[in-house]
Amino acid sequence: MRLTRLKIDNFRGIRTANILLPSHAVLIGDNNVGKTTLLEAIDLALGPDRLNRSPPIEEHDFYQGKYGLPGGATRGDTADPAEPPPDAMGGSDDSDVDAQTHEQDDPDAPKIEIEVTIADLTEEQKGRFGDYVEFWDTTTDTFYDQPSPAGVDADTITEALRVTFCGWYDAEEDDFEGRTYFTRSLSDEFKPAAFSKKDKQICGFLRLIRKWC
C-alpha cells in the first residue's frame, strides 16, 4: 500500500492543492511552508486515532480561519444554520453502515476536504473495500475510467482506493465536526458511506517526523 495522490481544499494555509506522490518521497523545506500541514491532512483522512480528539478540527484548521457562513455569520447567530455534510448513521466511527445524506442549507459555507488516494492495495484491502476499489494508471497518474481494466498492461494499472475527510462547522450545535468517507460513495450512484476506524486500521500508516536544525 502506498499513497499516490493528496488533494486538499481549505485546510490551514492551503487554499487548494493537488499533490502526486512517487513511491518514495521526502518533504524538504523551510519552517512554516506546509510540510506538517500535509502530514496532518493525511492523518485526518487515514489516522485511526485522530477522531478520538473531540472535535477532530478547530477554527484554526480552516483556511484563513474562515469557517462560518458568508456575510460574517459564524457561531450560532443565524436563523437558518447550515446542516453538516453527510454523517455516519449511529454516530460511531466504528460503524460499518452507510451514512445518511443531509441537506446543507448553505452550500457556500466553508468546508475542509482532504482526499487521499491509496494504491497497490493488499489482498485484505481489496476484499474489504471491493465496492469502492478503482484502478489507477501509474503512467498518467490518473484513474482508469473504462468499465474494466481487462486487456490493459497490468504493470501500469493497479487497484486503488479514494477516501475523503470532510470537516465543517455546525452552527446549530456551535461545534466543529469531521468525518471520513469512501470518496466514490459521495457520488450520486451511492449512499455516502463512512470510512470507519476499523477501515483506517487496515490502511494504517506509520508517521515519522525528523527535523534538522
Question: What is the tens place of the pLDDT at every residue in 5-57?
Answer: 999 999 999 999 999 998 888 888 888 888 999 999 999 999 888 767 888 99
- How much of the chain, in percent, has pLDDT values that exceed 70? 72
Question: What is the tens place of the pLDDT at every residue in 71-93?
Answer: 545 544 433 434 444 443 333 44
Q: Where are the domains of the chain?
A: 2-202
Under a CB-based contact definition with an 8 Å cutoff, are residues 162 and 150 in contact? no
| pLDDT value for 53 | 80
